[in-house]
Structure 1
Amino acid sequence: MSKLVRSVAVIAWIGQFANPASASEPVPSTPEIPLEQVKFFEEHIRPLLVAKCFKCHGADKQSGELRLDSLGAMLAGGDSGASIVPGSPGESLLIEAVRYESYEMPPDGKLADDEIELLVKWVEIGAPWPGDSGDAPVRETVDKITDDDRNYWCFQPLSHPQPPQSSADHWSRTDIDRFLLARLSDAGLRPQSEADRITLIRRATQLVTGLPPTLEEVDAFLSDDSPDAYRRLIERLLDSPQRGEHLARFWLDLVRYAESDGYRADGYRPQAWRYRDYVINAFNSDKPYDLFVMEQLAGDELDPHNPQALAATGYLRAGIYEYNQRDAEGQWKTMLEDVTDTTADTFLALGLGCAKCHDHKFDPILQTDYYQLQAFFSNVGLQDETPLATPAELEKHQQQQQAWEAATADIRAELEAMEQPVLERMEKEAVKMFVPELQAMWNKPAEERTAYENQIAFLIELQVIDKWKSLDSAFKNEAKEKRDALREQLKAFDELKPSPLPTGLTVTDIAPDPSPLYVPGKSRLGEMVPAFLTVLGDEPPVIAPTEASPQSTG
């Protein structure tokens, strides 16, 4: 991996460059460049490049195969491609680097703000360079992922090696034992003597269930002289519901499971436990691991009529949430980054966090890899009350609900006439706390919003709903008495009303076509679409059309 480390290090370019000879000889103006631009370049840009850049990116040295001592060299670029895009500072790697937005150049200290602004202005006006038209072949960007990276053991498909065999092996009982014995032998070691029966049941019970054995269990095992006593002990432990509870704790830690939102308020999540129980049941039922993974990432697509598959998508809702965060766009960005980071940590065993801002410094992970993984989640919409029920249960509930609504239509109409104006006022009070741009998103009809605007609108809606929780206190005196009387009348029809369905925190596709996703500040890289890590190959994911279902995200 040392080649990767070196290549990433030199890619972090735009440092100090030095070619003093060229600095002392101003180049005459060319007819194509206005005199004021020539003056601006010679007085501000050339001295800055000489002082801060030419040492590492000039005639004598080209870190990252990059020279910055001519316009042509800048356009040709280095290992990372062209360093500037004339007229577009936001698309220029040079500007990113001096701003410390991706690379950090010069590496020994950031340029002063006024120096950065000079470079921004120069690129903005077209990067005029007297005497240099910029004619030069544009370099091809080198492959940042090497064959050594691709061949590294952890990026290889799983294999099924044959267990080592030894005629002198009288210790092994399983294939796993044979692998262990071979490694011990290679190290000049041999197995320890077998544990006594009390130690054996204690170790086995704590390993499988996380609990010590009871005195009765120890006595029963010690008094069992049958040859298969240990096998039956293990089978009993594996059948114990405590096994799933114990193993689930490790998984739930990985996926940052919590039953509250986090932050200072740390609001309770009353339905979060359904995902917890899904994980416990998955271990206790020996659910195949590939199915376990797929259900958590896309259970609603995989089996939209299965309540357990729907509950599995609670994984995507386990991140932190701040109930009163007015920066809804910033909060949505944080939520997307959280699920991206956690998915990489949990399912890929790779930390992708560094690649959020730049190519990983040590591992073969590109910044584009981070956002292509995030693109799998960029179209999700959040749902807080998804019914976790079978189609038959949903149909029965709907029929009962319709009967109750028909019987209570008049009473509910009176209540709505009283409550709706108050709810609308509360809504306005909640929404006005957001900046005008977000208020405009909220005020659009849902069908006219972009996918992204609907995602932001949901976060605003949560704060509107939180405001509505104080509805009872908004009614006083006669209005309160009238409302209370109407609510009492409703209770007379409770026998018709269906019992609430179990619900869970899940996700849904927010729109058929997601809003475009780009690497921040690097739209020149194009739209980020769902893709696997570059080091694993360039085969695109197959995203098949999904069944139309009220519980499907497709």
Structure 2
Amino acid sequence: MSNKRRLPVLFLSAWLVLITSITSGSAADISFNRDIRPILTNHCYQCHGPDEQHREANLRLDDAASALAPRDGSPAIVPGQPKRSELISRITSPDHDLVMPPRELKKDLTPEQIATLVQWIQDGAKFEEHWSFQSPQRPTPPKTESTWPQNPIDHFVLAQMQSLNLAPNDPASREILIRRITLDLTGIPPTIDEIDSFLADKKPDAYSRLVQRLLHSPKFGERMAVDWMDAARYGDSSVFHADGPRDMWAWRDWVINAFNNNKSYKDFTIEQIAGDLLPTPTVDQQIASGFNRNHGTTDEGGAIAEEYRVEYIVDRIKTTSTVWLGLTLECAQCHDHKYDPFTQEEYYQLFAYFNQASDKGMQTRRGNEPPIVQVPNPRNQAKIPLEKEQLAALQNQLTKYRAQANDQCDSWLADLIAKATNGPILPPGRIAFVDFTEQQGAEITALSDPPTKGKYIGTPKWLSGEDVQAIILDGQSHVDFGKDLANFEGTEEFSIGATIKPDKTLTGAILSRMKDSNNFKGYDFLLSGGNVEIHIIHQWAGDAIKVSTKEKVKADTLQHIMFTYDGSQKASGISVYFDGVAQQLNVQQDSLKNSIKADTSLKFGKRDNSLNYKGEIHAVSFYDRKLTAEEVKLDAGQDALTPILVKSADDRTEDEEKILQDRFFSQDKTHIQLTKQIAAQQARITELNKPL
């Protein structure tokens, strides 16, 4: 009989053998776990088991050391000598005051149970660890007089069936075989065409090839992943409270691919528990550690953030121990585990491991909470090498041009020296400027092409003096410039500077072009307790950039603050300056992928419907390029060029020459064109690197 026709029968019969082997035993082959532990558990452990609070006589019958201890000449168990064993004396005692278990517990042992305990002690009283902690041993197949068995399992199946006067069923039909194996390996039934193809295949290895085809089907990994995802509490939502969406499909696909690629169990384990902690982890290994992010999260009002952060750790311990240790460790939160070899101290050692996670207790319902892994499209990744070659060619062209542009630079420099005597030198690329000079009333003009009119919303308040012009915002008023000004995209360079004098609250939006009701799409430039924050957002918080300065601006002090952005959709592309000095930044979100253009107006002094600013605004400037550090100083009114220009060429330092060169190239048309081409090429690479 062929193997393929006996597989379903063998599978079911193997379970019969396993169940029967667990529930049977003989006096000559008594197992502690199978025969003795159940008796002691039901009749003795209440007073002589792992529960320290209810233990009597300081005797543990679940622990060999305690059970075999001398106990002042009255050991509970003496291996090989049941008559000297106090356990046997007590369970057979006719004395109501001495017999165990006490009569009032109504847990009397049967004669068969007593006989089993006596025989076990007579045979040496061999204790065993719980079966789950024992290494499996390959048993010797029983002998059967039949040609039916074709492998060792068949011998166990047939021996048990014969002991029950049963015989194997007739072989299953080929239609049933393909249905069974297809459901087992893919989770779905075979198609009519697949059944017909298998029935038409008369070769001896048809069934083996069918199995191989199913094992190599992508659906095999999907079928195998189902149980694993259940154990790992997989879900594409946040579970608690609002049950908002979150993206975990990348981890799901990693599990499916792990099964389809036959990943080793060792790597399957390491990468899910700590893939992000491996040296130079790959994106796949970081995705694998998403196993630890499948737990439910909350952002419910009134919830205590620290309480839920700890709850997430407890959830990770529970899931990790259940999945990989086969143990439920909740008991060890409060005390040593009563049944499993796990102490409370060990529980909190595992707690300490997960206590290093950086995710917060209060998490968003609007996507994924940082830290987030960016998962690029593998098809796009294949295109990147060619794009990088083209980028390198453009960069090489730019380098050559800079080396050959000396004559143009000298001519420009001579012209600039002449202009330096006529007024302040400004950076190129300024597309709009508002300085509030001689502006009063409810209408304000931004110097742009064409000029843009803004409306003062609220009661206009102005600061006017001999050298000072500014608007004063009281937390109720703001300026609205409509939808045409400074409508930047997240892939474009831009810079925004403002000269301000905030009040002591040091909080509010200096300016913004953001839609609160559209997941905060857009950008803003604001103060939060004195720290400057920049948001560039498509959808908060899963598709956004947020940085904040480590230092704070000063209250009631006039100062120039500016941020510049290179269009890279990365937090690293943002720089912030206080009075021309670059600031260190905290990166709080770095996952921008899509457009930031919002159907809303540019506002000074608030963010859509929130974060009203209190204080003075003296001037605001907008540029369609990322300014250099020296150009930021120019916008701040710190003219570093004029002192250099008045020097002779021989007296200029190397750094001063570089400042002049950078200034020349920032306005040179050829250099600007090449720079834009490079930026566009970098943007293409950034686009290809965008996560799915």
TM-score, normalised by the number of residues in structure 2:
0.41
Distance 1:409 1:428, change over 3 A: closer
CA RMSD of aligned residues (A): 5.2
Other-structure match for 1:191: 168
The answer to whether residue 275 in structure 2 is matched with residue 304 in structure 1 is no
Distance 1:212 1:329, change over 3 A: same
Aligned counterparts of 2:495 and 2:316: Cα–Cα separation in 1: 41
Which of 213, 230, 233 does residue 253 from structure 1 map onto?
Answer: 230
Distance 1:11 1:229, change over 3 A: same
User: Is the contact made by 2:313 and 2:354 (CA closer than 8 Å) also made in structure 1?
Assistant: yes
Distance 1:64 1:345, change over 3 A: farther
The answer to whether residue 186 in structure 2 is matched with residue 209 in structure 1 is yes
The answer to whether residue 529 in structure 2 is matched with residue 341 in structure 1 is no
| Deviation of the 1:254 alpha carbon | 0.4
| Number of residues of Structure 1 aligned to a counterpart in Structure 2 | 342
Other-structure match for 1:244: 221
Other-structure match for 1:422: 526
User: Is the contact made by 1:209 and 1:246 (CA closer than 8 Å) also made in structure 2?
Assistant: yes
Other-structure match for 1:266: 243
| Deviation of the 1:64 alpha carbon | 7.1
Other-structure match for 2:210: 233
User: Is the contact made by 2:272 and 2:291 (CA closer than 8 Å) also made in structure 1?
Assistant: yes
User: Is the contact made by 1:11 and 1:64 (CA closer than 8 Å) also made in structure 2?
Assistant: no
Other-structure match for 1:496: 682
Q: Which amino acid aligns with 1:297?
A: I
The answer to whether residue 129 in structure 2 is matched with residue 151 in structure 1 is yes
1:52-74 CA-to-partner distances (Å, cap 9, x unmatched) read xxxxxxxxxx95759xxxxxxxx
Aligned counterparts of 1:148 and 1:426: Cα–Cα separation in 2: 72
State percent identity of aligned pairs.
31
| Deviation of the 1:171 alpha carbon | 2.7
Distance 1:428 1:252, change over 3 A: farther
Distance 1:152 1:292, change over 3 A: same
Other-structure match for 1:385: 372
User: Is the contact made by 1:261 and 1:321 (CA closer than 8 Å) also made in structure 2?
Assistant: yes
Distance 1:294 1:149, change over 3 A: farther
Other-structure match for 2:486: none
Q: Identify the range of structure 1 (317-326 vs 185-194) with the bigger mean alpha-carbon deviation.
A: 185-194
Q: Which amino acid aligns with 1:268?
A: P
Task: Name the SS of the counterpart of 1:232 in structure 2.
Answer: helix
Aligned counterparts of 1:328 and 1:398: Cα–Cα separation in 2: 45
Trace 1:95-106 onto structure 2 (pairs within 5 A).
none
Aligned counterparts of 1:180 and 1:445: Cα–Cα separation in 2: 71
Other-structure match for 1:292: 268
Q: Which amino acid aligns with 2:129?
A: N
Distance 1:425 1:354, change over 3 A: same
Aligned counterparts of 2:623 and 2:166: Cα–Cα separation in 1: 81
Which of 305, 313, 318 does residue 328 from structure 1 map onto?
Answer: 305
User: Is the contact made by 1:163 and 1:179 (CA closer than 8 Å) also made in structure 2?
Assistant: no
Aligned counterparts of 1:464 and 1:426: Cα–Cα separation in 2: 22
Other-structure match for 2:333: 356
Task: Name the SS of the counterpart of 1:358 in structure 2.
Answer: coil
The answer to whether residue 494 in structure 2 is matched with residue 411 in structure 1 is yes
Q: Which amino acid aligns with 1:11?
A: E
| Deviation of the 1:299 alpha carbon | 1.9
1:438-490 CA-to-partner distances (Å, cap 9, x unmatched) read xxxxx9979xxxxxxxxxxxxxx98999xxx9996996557999x9x978999
User: Is the contact made by 2:238 and 2:244 (CA closer than 8 Å) also made in structure 1?
Assistant: yes
Give the number of the structure whose alpha-carbon radius of gyration is greater.
2
- Higher RCO (Cα < 8 Å, 6 or more apart): 1
1:10-36 CA-to-partner distances (Å, cap 9, x unmatched) read 5226xxxxxxxxxxxxxxxxxxxxxxx
The gaps in structure 1 that reach 5 residues or longer are: 14-61, 67-146, 430-442, 447-460, 505-554
| Deviation of the 1:371 alpha carbon | 2.0
Task: Name the SS of the counterpart of 1:422 in structure 2.
Answer: strand
Aligned counterparts of 1:369 and 1:5: Cα–Cα separation in 2: 25
The answer to whether residue 141 in structure 2 is matched with residue 164 in structure 1 is yes
1:95-153 CA-to-partner distances (Å, cap 9, x unmatched) read xxxxxxxxxxxxxxxxxxxxxxxxxxxxxxxxxxxxxxxxxxxxxxxxxxxx9987222
Task: Name the SS of the counterpart of 1:372 in structure 2.
Answer: helix
Task: Name the SS of the counterpart of 1:375 in structure 2.
Answer: helix
The answer to whether residue 222 in structure 2 is matched with residue 222 in structure 1 is no
Q: Which amino acid aligns with 1:166?
A: K
The answer to whether residue 349 in structure 2 is matched with residue 372 in structure 1 is yes
Aligned counterparts of 1:235 and 1:188: Cα–Cα separation in 2: 36
User: Is the contact made by 1:323 and 1:462 (CA closer than 8 Å) also made in structure 2?
Assistant: no
Distance 1:298 1:190, change over 3 A: farther
Aligned counterparts of 2:314 and 2:47: Cα–Cα separation in 1: 28
| Deviation of the 1:313 alpha carbon | 0.5
User: Is the contact made by 1:387 and 1:503 (CA closer than 8 Å) also made in structure 2?
Assistant: yes
| Deviation of the 1:307 alpha carbon | 2.4
Distance 1:424 1:264, change over 3 A: same
